[in-house]
Amino acid sequence: CKPTIVSYNGLISALVLARRTEEAVVMFEELKEEGFDGTWVTFSQLARAFRNTLEGAEKILLLERIYKLLTRGERTSNVGSPIISLLISAYGALGRYGDAKRVFDSLEGPSDAGCLRAILFACGNTSPPKWEEALGLLHSSDIVGESIGPTHVDAIAVSNAMIACAKADEWEEALQLLRLYGGNRTSIVAFNALIASCGRSGRPDLAMEVLNEMDVFEVTPDTVSFRNAVIACNQAQHAQRLNVKSEATSLFEWW
C-alpha cells in the first residue's frame, strides 16, 4: 500500500525511540521527496530525537537538514515550532546570535513561547549580549505563559530577557522586568544574574534587596544566590577602600 503521513510519523517515532537520530532525519527527507508536508506530530517526534543526545555542530548540521526542507506552511508556530525552536537554541548555545535570529525571522506568522524563549536565550548568550533586542522582542510579543504576573508574559521568556540585560550590566532593565512580570516561575538563574549585575555596578544594596525579595516570588535562593550577594558586598567594600586610599594619596602629594 502507498505510504501516508501517518505511516511516516510512525516510522520516525520508532527510529527516535531507538535513538537512531540520523535515520529519523533521513526518513523525514524521504517523506518530503514523496510530496508530504510534516505535521505537528512529525516535528514533535523529530525534536525528541535531539533532546539530551547530540550537541554542537553535529546537532546543528542535522537540524539544518530538516529546516532547509520546510515549506512556508511548515515554518509556523503551530506546525514546525518544535524543530525551529531547537535550531534557534542550538545556535544560541554556540553564541551564534546572527544565525539564531535568521531562523527566528523566517517564522511565518507570530512566534510561540518555545521560539521566543529560544531567541531570548540567544540574546543573552552572545558577546556582547543583545539586551536591547531582547527587550524589543519580549515587549512586542503577545505570548501568554504560566507567569502569575499581571500581564501573564511567559515566565521563561522573561527570565531569559532578564539574563540578557543582567549580563550587559543593564541591571535597571532587568529589575524592571522582574517588577513587571516576575512570578514564582521566574528562573533562579535570572535572579542570580541580576544580583551579580547589581554587584558589578556598585549597588550591593539592590543585590541584597533582590536576594531578600526572592521569598516574595516563592523562589528559594541557592548557594550561587548567596555567593553573588556576598561578592557584591565585597566589591563595594573594595571600591570604598580604593577611594579612601586614592584620596589619602592625593592629599599626601598635595603636601
Identify the pLDDT of residue 52: 64
pLDDT value of residue 240: 57
Q: Which residues of the chain have pLDDT under 50?
A: 146-151, 242-252, 254-255
CA 163 to chain centre: 9
The pLDDT score that the predictor gives to residue 147 is: 42
Distance, in Å, from the CA atom of 107 to the CA atom of 83, rounded to the nearest integer, reads 12
Q: Concatenate the DSSP letters of all residues of 33-75 into one string.
A: HTTPPP-HHHHHHHHHHHTTS--HHHHHHHHHHHHTT--TTTS
Q: What is the Cα 154 distance to its own chain's centre?
A: 12
Tens digit of pLDDT for each residue in 212-248? 999 999 999 999 999 999 999 887 665 555 444 444 4
Give the pLDDT of residue 251: 40
How far apart are alpha carbons 125 and 149 in whole angstroms?
A: 25
pLDDT at 118: 97
Q: What is the pTM of this model?
A: 0.87
Closest CA to 173 of 201, 145, 146: 201
